[in-house]
Amino acid sequence: MDIQADIMDHYFMEEALALARKAYEEGEIPVGALVVAKDRIIGRGYNQTERLNDVTAHAEMIAITAAADHVGSKYLTDCTLYVTLEPCVMCAGALYWTQVRRVVVGAQDEKRGFSKIKQPLLHPKTKLVTGIMAMESQELLLKFFRELRT
């Protein structure tokens, strides 16, 4: 295992978690995402489906759009996307089109996660890393849904 890469992954996942907490504070399902190029954050997003009344306003979609705008290209081939919860099928599909180099995931999504689909959805060039700070991401989601029920 590459220790340096692992440290950076935790560092950026902490940043993605901060975005998830922001979503939480705004009454949105707490998911945060960011896109990193050369150890710099070039796109941020958190779930805003309620505020924007838009089912496509997932954290990943917003972060991808911001990053593409930043690099001036629809491709994110030299980038890493960090997301606190496993992408859904829609977001995995969008990530395919970006040809993003790496996708780093926090918690697994047992219900809507893209890995439930048998067909590989990410681009063949994309490297997938899972389980980075999964507990923290999961905790925040559980807290949100617990409060929603009470």
The DSSP output letter for 100 is -
C-beta closer to Zn ion: residue 53 or 150: 53
Residues 76-115 as x/- pattern, contact with Zn ion by CB under 5 A? ------------x-xx------------------------
C-beta closer to Zn ion: residue 12 or 87: 87
Q: Is 60 known to be catalytic?
A: yes
Task: In whole angstroms, give the CA distance from residue 106 to residue 87.
Answer: 10
| Residue-wise DSSP of 103-148 | EEEEE--TTTBGGGSSS--S-TT-EEE--TTHHHHHHHHHHHHHHH
Restricting to residues 17-76, which ones interact with Zn ion according to CB under 5 A? Answer: 58
Q: Which residues bind Zn ion (CB under 5 A)?
A: 58, 88, 90-91
